[in-house]
Structure 1
Amino acid sequence: MRKLTYYVAVSIDGFIAGPGGEFDRFLFEGDHAAGIGEKYRGTAPTELAERAGLPIEGGPFDTVLMGWNTYAVGLPELPSPYRHFRQVVFTRGHEAPTGSDDVEFTDRDPVEVVRELKAEDGKGIWLCGGGALAAVLRDEIDRLALKRNPVLFGDGIPLFEGRDYAPADFRPTGITSYESGVVLEEYVRG
């Protein structure tokens, strides 16, 4: 069965974006970039990876899930941000933009969709954001891969929106610290 991994950048205080949805304080360059980029190969948007000469094949995922707000970060320039993956965007009320023919937009229950995806053959499934979608899918998340950045936002979009869910145990499988200050924390549901 395929696994769902919530792989995301996060601040020390647990936010995946600031109060206005900004994430420009996260470190995109530094000694962490090569190691994390190789381990999670293919997680850069296709066009950006091609321009930078980054490999997109051979990574752990073949499907990416996003909420509308995460998807919309790249609009209008990147209407199909991860062309090398199957792309599923959960939305209730937004129309598919021009150029997004290979993106699946759905208003279906995310839990049902994820369970169907897990039952299919293929590589891992990457949940790349956002916090509201992660909260809905919390019981379906098999792995966490957190790129903990050495910044405090104080407020913003939390890793998991809302607090009305049951506790869940995860056990660490790896913690890698980089001189840049970024720490890759990896966990499996335990």
Structure 2
Amino acid sequence: MRKLTYYVAASLDGCIAGPDGSYDFLPFEGEVREAILAEYPETMPVHVRGPLGLTATSPRHFDTVIMGRGTYEPALSAGITSPYAHLEQYVVSRTLHATDPAVEIIADDPAALVRELKQQDGLGIWLAGGGKLAAALRTEIDELIIKRNPVVVGSGIPLFDGPFAPTGFLPVARRDFDSGVSIVTYTRK
């Protein structure tokens, strides 16, 4: 059975973006960049794949991405309607209308979608964000991969933006970098 992995960068205080949706305080450079490109090449959007040398790479972990409107919006603002054309793409939004035939808009019950996708053949399902969608899918998340950056931002979009509902995960892998970034993998308890 396929699993849902919430793979995301975050600050030390648990923010995946600033209050305005910015994420430039989460750098993508040096040894961390090289490690991510080697291990998770499919998580790079189409407009940067060529410049990063990823033109012919096959997905290693994920063949499907699900994201909230806030995660999809920066691509739309740049005129990119299919940011992960190399993956099956779903955007959860009650207000967004179809923008590209390669992107399926889901208005209701993202958990039902994830349960359906888990039953299909294929690689893993990548939950790309955001915090509200992660909170809505908390019971469906099988794995967390958090790229923890050594910065405190004070406020912003949290990893999980929803009601209080303690959910246990166990750390199963950790990779630390000289830059202070840690990539920690957790599985559901």
**Which TM-score bucket, shorter chain as reference?**
over 0.9
2:186 alignment partner in structure 1: 187
Comparing 144-153 and 32-41, the one that deviates more: 32-41
1:175 maps to 2:143: no
For 2:80 and 2:183, the matched residues in 1 are separated by 27
For 2:137 and 2:177, the matched residues in 1 are separated by 30
For 2:88, give the aligned amino acid. R
Unaligned runs of 5+ in 2: none
Deviation string 1:88-146 (CA, Å, 9 cap, x unpaired) is 0011011223xx22100111201100000000000000000000000000010000000
For 1:188, give the aligned amino acid. T
Partner SS for 1:74: helix
For 2:30 and 2:12, the matched residues in 1 are separated by 17
User: Aligned-pair distance for 1:37?
Assistant: 2.3
User: Aligned-pair distance for 1:164?
Assistant: 2.5
What TM-score results when the alignment is normalised by the length of structure 2? 0.95
User: Aligned-pair distance for 1:51?
Assistant: 2.5
Residue 46 of structure 1 contacts residue 56 of structure 1 at CA under 8 Å; is this kept in 2? no
What TM-score results when the alignment is normalised by the length of structure 1? 0.94
For 1:164 and 1:102, the matched residues in 2 are separated by 35
2:73 alignment partner in structure 1: 72
Aligned partner (choices 82, 85, 88) of residue 90 of structure 2: 88
User: Aligned-pair distance for 1:75?
Assistant: 1.6
Partner SS for 2:173: strand
2:20 alignment partner in structure 1: 20
For 2:76 and 2:132, the matched residues in 1 are separated by 20
For 1:162 and 1:123, the matched residues in 2 are separated by 28
Matches within 5 A, 1:33-44: 33-44=33-44
Unaligned runs of 5+ in 1: none
Matches within 5 A, 1:113-132: 113-132=113-132
Q: Runs of 4+ in structure 1 displaced over 4 angstroms?
A: none
Residues matched between the structures, number:
187
For 2:97 and 2:51, the matched residues in 1 are separated by 28
For 2:152 and 2:59, the matched residues in 1 are separated by 33
Residue 173 of structure 1 contacts residue 187 of structure 1 at CA under 8 Å; is this kept in 2? yes
1:163 alignment partner in structure 2: 163
Identical amino acids, percent of aligned pairs: 49
Residue 62 of structure 1 contacts residue 86 of structure 1 at CA under 8 Å; is this kept in 2? yes
Residue 64 of structure 1 contacts residue 86 of structure 1 at CA under 8 Å; is this kept in 2? yes
For 1:168 and 1:81, the matched residues in 2 are separated by 31
